[in-house]
Structure 1
Amino acid sequence: MGDLLGVEEVLFFVDDVQDAKKWFSDLLGSEPYFDHANYCAFHAADTTVAVHPSDEKTSSGIAGQVIYWRVADIKKTIAHFESHGCSLFRGPIYGVDEVWVCQLLDPFGNVWGLLEK
C-alpha cells in the first residue's frame, strides 16, 4: 500500500473545542493529552482523536470518509455511544465481508464507524 503505515490521527471539527472537550473525554474515558483553546487530542487505541474548530474550509458533519474503529462487542459499544448522545446513522448490518458494521452520529454531526470481526 505504498508509504501508508496506518491511521495516525482522526480529526473532528466542532463549533467550540472547549465545549466539545468534555463530551470527548466522557466518551473516550480519558482527559486530553494535549489541550489548547483551538485543538485538543486524546489517545484512543493506537490513534490520536483530535478536536479542531470548524471553519470556512471544513465544517463539522458528514464529509464522505468514515473511519471505522475495531471493537470487541459492537452491541455494547453502540450502547456506550448512545449513552453519550449518539444516534445510529447506518446499521448495524452484517456485511458481505462477514463483519458487523455501523455508523453513529455524535452530538456535533460527525460520524463514528464501528466494526466487529
Structure 2
Amino acid sequence: MLRGMATVNYFADDLEAAKDWYSEFLGVAPYFTVPGGYYEFRIGDYQAELGLINRKYAATTPDRPGGQIVNWHVDDVAATFERLLEMGAKEYEPITARGEGTGFVTAAVVDPFGNVLGIMTNPHYLEILAAARPE
C-alpha cells in the first residue's frame, strides 16, 4: 500500500545551478548533500523530500519533459506559477480549475533543468493538515 510521498527526485545536467535555483524558489538550503551527485531538501508541512540528482546517474534521458506530474500543494497557485515563470521556468500546463467549484486548481512548469514541477491548491490536503494539527 502506498502510504505517502517520501522523496521526489529531479535530474539536472548542472547540479549546482539546480541547487541554487531550488534554494531560491524554496527559500531553504539543502539539508543533505553528496558533492557532485545529490542535494536533498525537506519542505512543506510534512517535510517531504525533494532530491536533485546529477543527470549522469539517470537510468534514461528522455528528449523532452513528460511522464508523471507530482503536484505540490501551494496556497496561491497563480502567484506561485507567476514566480516560477519569472525565475525562468516554462509553462507546461496552464492554471486549470479541476471540477466546477471544488477548489482544486493545478498548473505545471518545466524547470530550467528539464523537470516537470506541478503545483496545486488542494482542499483535501488542507483537511488532512487540519486534522493532523488539532487546536
Highest CA radius of gyration, 1 or 2? 2
Paired amino acid for 2:11: F
Residue of structure 1 equivalent to 2:51: 50
Residue of structure 2 equivalent to 1:105: 110
Q: How many percent of aligned residue pairs carry the same amino acid?
A: 28
Q: Deviations over 1:38-86 (max 9, x none)?
A: 0010112121111101136233752411100111111111122122111
Residue of structure 2 equivalent to 1:38: 37
The aligned length equals 115
Displacement of 1:96 after TM fit? Answer: 2.6
Hey, which of these two has a bigger chunk of helix by percent?
A: 2
Q: Secondary structure at the match of 1:65?
A: coil
Contact 1:13 1:59 in 2 (8 A): no
Q: Secondary structure at the match of 1:40?
A: strand
Q: Which of residues 90, 103, 106 in structure 1 aligns to 2:93?
A: 90
Q: Which of residues 6, 28, 39 in structure 2 aligns to 1:8?
A: 6
TM value normalised by structure 2: 0.77
Over aligned residue pairs, what C-alpha RMSD do you find? 1.8
Paired amino acid for 1:85: G
Q: Which of residues 75, 79, 86 in structure 1 aligns to 2:78?
A: 75
Runs ≥4 in structure 1, deviation > 3 angstroms? none
Paired amino acid for 1:42: F
Following the alignment from structure 1 to structure 2, what is the Cα–Cα distance between the partners of residues 15 and 59? Answer: 11
Following the alignment from structure 1 to structure 2, what is the Cα–Cα distance between the partners of residues 103 and 88? Answer: 6
Instruction: Name structure 2 gaps, 5 residues minimum.
Output: 123-135
Hey, which of these two has a bigger chunk of strand by percent?
A: 1
TM value normalised by structure 1: 0.87
Instruction: Name structure 1 gaps, 5 residues minimum.
Output: none
Q: Which of residues 61, 66, 69 in structure 1 aligns to 2:69?
A: 66
Following the alignment from structure 1 to structure 2, what is the Cα–Cα distance between the partners of residues 20 and 69? Answer: 18
